[in-house]
């Protein structure tokens, strides 16, 4: 049986054959470094991921290659329950693009047992993509963790206000994303997020004002309010009793 490293090399060989310059040029236009990229679309990477399945040893081997597409596949193939706190820090330390950062947070880290423990320290990190990872992870938890209570999200909102003065583009966009994602969970969190956004929009720092106004535009959309009302009605509806079995 081949080793994870050997299997990772087979994946790299396939990606190299599939990559194109046109795809690399497109990635560069979106701010993705292409020095370690083959030029394979995310859609094609999902096809590879489906074929490979969840395999944590392979995921780690793919990550260790340092290639862009391999690192996205590492996130797609990792097993969340096997992700350690040390692994999360090790990966976050070398994030070099929004794409790798966000993919790891959205497809692997937000389902890991240590996810919430990383939000605050990462948001307070000075490293650009580690800080982005903190807010991307908060956004991913808001999107995917359907059973979480409001409390951890309310406790995380002060991080948004703390770091709203960071004018680095990839950071401020992640801060806004996190605020908007939290505000779309339910009516209570929507009200809390709106209050934060209003305070940010009134601040002196350009980045804070931008984040506040960006979040307010999104959270005040009629579609968002409609979704929140529908969720509230669904939550308030009495649970249906299972139909009685006919004797």
Maximum Cα–Cα distance for the chain, whole Å? 71
Tell me how far apart the alpha carbons of residues 124 and 141 are, in angstroms, rounded to a whole number. Answer: 18
Percent of the chain with pLDDT over 70: 96
Cα–Cα distance for residue pair 85/82, rounded to 1 Å: 10
CA distance 69 to 37: 6
> Average pLDDT, whole number, for the chain?
95
Rounded Cα–Cα distance for residues 218 and 74 (Å): 32
pLDDT attached to residue 238: 79
Q: Model confidence at 47, in pLDDT bands (50, 70, 90)? A: very high
Model pLDDT for residues 109-158, shown as the tens digit of each residue: 999 999 999 999 999 999 999 999 999 999 999 999 999 999 999 999 99
Q: So what's the pLDDT on residue 14?
A: 97
pLDDT classification of 239: cutoffs 50, 70, 90 = low
For every residue of 83-120, which 3-state class applies, written as one string?
CCHHHHHHHHHCCCCHHHHHHHHHHCHHHCCCHHHHHH
pLDDT per residue as tens digits for the range 202-235: 999 999 999 999 999 999 999 999 999 888 888 8
Q: What digits encode the pLDDT tens for the residues 61-111?
A: 999 999 999 999 999 999 999 999 999 999 999 999 999 999 999 999 999
What confidence category does residue 43 fall into, taking pLDDT thresholds of 50, 70 and 90? very high
Contact (Cβ atoms closer than 8 angstroms) between residue 133 and residue 115: no
**Domain spanning 96-235: CATH 1.20.950:** no
> What is the dihedral angle through the alpha carbons of 155, 180, 162, 173, rounded to the nearest 10 degrees?
140
Q: Where are the domains of the chain?
A: 1-78, 96-235
């Amino acid at each position: 049986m081949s080793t994870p490293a050997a299997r990772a090399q087979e994946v790299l060989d396939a990606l190299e054959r599939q990559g194109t310059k046109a795809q690399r040029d497109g990635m560069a236009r979106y701010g993705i470094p292409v020095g370690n990229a083959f030029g394979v679309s995310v859609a094609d990477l999902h096809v590879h991921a489906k074929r490979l399945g969840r395999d944590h040893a392979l995921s780690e081997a793919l990550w260790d290659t340092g290639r862009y597409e391999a690192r996205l596949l590492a996130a797609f193939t990792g097993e969340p329950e096997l992700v350690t706190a040390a692994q999360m820090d090790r990966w976050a330390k070398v994030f070099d693009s929004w794409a790798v950062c966000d993919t790891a947070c959205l497809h692997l880290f937000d389902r890991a047992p240590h996810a919430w423990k990383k939000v605050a320290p990462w948001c307070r990190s000075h490293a650009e993509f580690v800080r982005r990872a903190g807010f991307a992870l908060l956004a991913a938890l808001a999107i995917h963790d359907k059973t979480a209570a409001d409390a951890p999200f309310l406790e995380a909102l002060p991080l948004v206000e703390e770091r709203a003065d960071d004018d680095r583009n990839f950071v401020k966009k992640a801060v806004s994303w996190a605020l908007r994602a939290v505000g779309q969970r339910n009516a209570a969190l929507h009200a809390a997020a709106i209050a934060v956004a209003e305070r940010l929009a009134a601040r002196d720092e350009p980045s804070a004002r931008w984040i506040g106004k960006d979040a307010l535009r999104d959270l005040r959309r009629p579609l968002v309010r409609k979704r929140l009302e529908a969720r509230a009605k669904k939550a308030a509806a009495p649970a249906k009793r299972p139909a009685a079995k006919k004797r």
